[in-house]
Chains A and B, each alone.
Chain A
Amino acid sequence: MAATYDKAVERFERLMRAPVETRVRAPMDLARFTGWPNSSVYRAAAALEAEGFLSRDADGAFVRGAQSLRVGWSAQGFGRMALLGPPVLAAARRMFDRSFFVASISRRALTVGSYCMSRGDSDAQLQARYELRENPDWGGENGDGARAARVDTLHIDAAGRRAFFWVAPLAEAPGRPARMACLGLVPRHGLHVRDPEIVREVAAAFAARLEGGE
């Protein structure tokens, strides 16, 4: 029986990966992605849609549902981020025409949650997780409460080359290892001197909500 449950978890994993790895307009696209028969894909997708883990957008395409985001952020100790992230990111993109994400940092791992790409960055790809080249001097185990209005760069390896994000801390979750929620901005080529200011402004808009509600 153990194999049955392992297989169920594998199926769950595969279905949940589909909307972020490919465009899934219909259960048939899911069948192509998973390699499963249409009938079982249909039942499996319906089961996850019923629980809010999969949802359909205005074009009818499958996306990760609200409950998927909620579980993802709850696992990081910031359940409210699932609701706060999307509207804040959409408004921020509208205001600045830049690409933003919300993420958490624990030790030297950056786990990305919701993100929105602006038109100028739409060919850029974000990953679900990055290893940081060094610990930021705020957050994680170094968080000391003096992080208000801090903006920093996080250096990462992306697609085999060095890159960085602008980030601002939002809130710290209790527990060990400490985990910090943050807002990130994807830099564009060239010098954009306002980037730190933009990150600071957007972060300030909802950090208080996040701190107060956990």
Chain B
Amino acid sequence: MSRSAADAPGNNLQRIARILLAFDAGNAPLTAAALFAAARVGRSTGFGLLRALGKAGYLRRVEHGLWQLGERAAALAFSPIDRRAIQFSAREDIAGADIAVPDFAGQLRLDPNLVEFADTARFRKAAPYRLGFSNASVGNPWRRAMLGSMGYALSARADKIARFDALDAGDDPQLQARQIDQLAGAGIDLLLVSVANSGSAAIAARLRHWASRGLPIVAIDRAPTAASPDSATQSDALTAFVTASDAFIGRVSALWLAEFLRGRGRVWILSGLQGASPAVDRQAAALGVFSEFPGITVEAVSYTGWTEQGGYDAVGDLLASGREIPHGVWCDSGLQGIGSIRRLSDAGAPIPPHTGGDLNAMYRICLRRRVPLAALDYPAVMGARAVETALDVLAGRPTLKRAEVPVKVVLPKGMETASVKADVFAESHVEWDSPGDKILSQGPALASGFGGKTEHGEDQNGGDLRQSG
């Protein structure tokens, strides 16, 4: 390495980060030599950095030439868990204020799975790593956004990743079971997986097989657990599961709809993909809420495959069966919600209140046409979180078995109800200048190089994506 490259600002910042990261959870003292090894620096640069960090209070020297993290490092823990955009109170004359709302406090108890740690010490090995991703599908904009988020994280941590191979199962569980063998058999260090069907015995069997052979497996978005309500049980094969609370999404959106309808009316349910854990868990939570309102009738339950066409066709079928326009349409995502609105619009019908976010087009059409909406974006940024979790697992760092990415409640102004308040208003969340198929919760993402091909079974990267250091 040349002198100029070694002294580049980024290099010294990474060395500082690596020195600080060398300490364990209890801040046990380390020798200078151990810190030099962690930062991959020689004695001269190493002592220079230690002295500077000590002077600034990030490190402190303890007896016998040992170092510990100092008081200044403690301040690095100071951070909001999210940013909340709204800073004023709701109106008083809001929907639902005049009806009896069931007490859901019991359902909001702290989930013990949220504080369960994974055993990662046995997976510890030196970077760079080879990762494989068995992806259920890239068949809708959310899945492509999640893959883009994953791509951004891979790119940002390129020096830790030797190779990343992703295969698309096209929502076919049997194909995915074979692809898991293909990836795992190729000698990857860790398998990322988002399963096509949560109840698939074939997928579960392959994951258990590879887990029993010592392969760490991190699930994302869709976990291989059959009929488990949200976070209840998690496949033993999984080292960790990166997701968001589907029960929260289902419960809050249903509560909003029930309150917005003042506890009375006919509701159609348009779920995503039958058998996929987010669809199962959101629907179960929503049905649980609706059942608490005697005046609410769930008139139909349909599946849409989380596509606009699926939503369009499902509503078309319901209209063709002679049903009247419902008072509300509960969608577990705007991916199909946009299809529902377009079909109702094509029928010349008034558009009833809808739920379901994610898609920029859903926000745009609801705001333009003043359709009452409650949206809880399922965060596609979990793609990046899954990569970070994978790297933590392979570094042997403590990791939560179930890592939930926060979900925001997005409502247009004036649409809050007695129990459901906006974290952010749709008017400031929507991106009028961005494409309609943009997913608004994906964070930064690579626009190309990921998910370019959607044919089943094809490599999603158009070849091997090498993330060289």
Complex: how many Å from CA A79 to CA B68?
A: 14
Shortest C-beta distance, A6 to chain B (Å), equals 5
Complex: how many Å from CA A205 to CA B53?
A: 36
The answer on a CB contact under 8 Å between A94 and B108 is yes
- Say whether A149 faces chain B, with CB atoms less than 8 Å apart: no
Residue in contact with B86 in the complex, picked from A90, A116, A122, CB distance below 8 Å: A122
The answer on a CB contact under 8 Å between A86 and B81 is yes
- Say whether B248 faces chain A, with CB atoms less than 8 Å apart: yes
The answer on a CB contact under 8 Å between A95 and B108 is yes
The answer on a CB contact under 8 Å between B443 and A70 is no
- Say whether A191 faces chain B, with CB atoms less than 8 Å apart: no
Interface residues of B in 7-45 (CB under 8 A from A): 7-18, 20-21, 23-27, 44-45
- Say whether B433 faces chain A, with CB atoms less than 8 Å apart: no
- Say whether B157 faces chain A, with CB atoms less than 8 Å apart: yes
Interface size class of B (residues with CB under 8 A): 35 or more
User: Which partner residue on chain A sits nearest B76 by CB separation?
Assistant: A72
Residue in contact with A91 in the complex, picked from B44, B82, B114, CB distance below 8 Å: B114
The answer on a CB contact under 8 Å between A173 and B377 is no
Q: How many A-B residue pairs have CB under 8 A?
A: 261
- Say whether A164 faces chain B, with CB atoms less than 8 Å apart: no
Complex: how many Å from CA A168 to CA B392?
A: 30
Shortest C-beta distance, B44 to chain A (Å), equals 8
- Say whether A81 faces chain B, with CB atoms less than 8 Å apart: yes
Interface residues of A in 140-187 (CB under 8 A from B): 173-174
Bitwise interface map of A from 71 to 86 toward B, beta carbon under 8 Å scored 1, else 0: 1111111111111111
Which of B20, B70, B71 has the most chain A CB within a 10 Å cutoff?
B20
A-B contact pairs, 21 of them (CB 8 A): A11-B9, A11-B12, A50-B159, A51-B14, A51-B21, A56-B443, A58-B379, A64-B76, A69-B79, A71-B69, A71-B77, A72-B75, A73-B77, A74-B23, A75-B70, A79-B26, A80-B398, A87-B404, A88-B115, A119-B421, A173-B26
Binding site for A on B (CB under 8 A): 7-18, 20-21, 23-27, 44-45, 48-49, 51-53, 55-56, 58, 68-71, 73-84, 86-87, 89, 105, 108-112, 114-115, 117, 152, 156-160, 248, 377, 379-381, 384, 388, 391-392, 397-400, 403-406, 408, 421, 423, 440-444
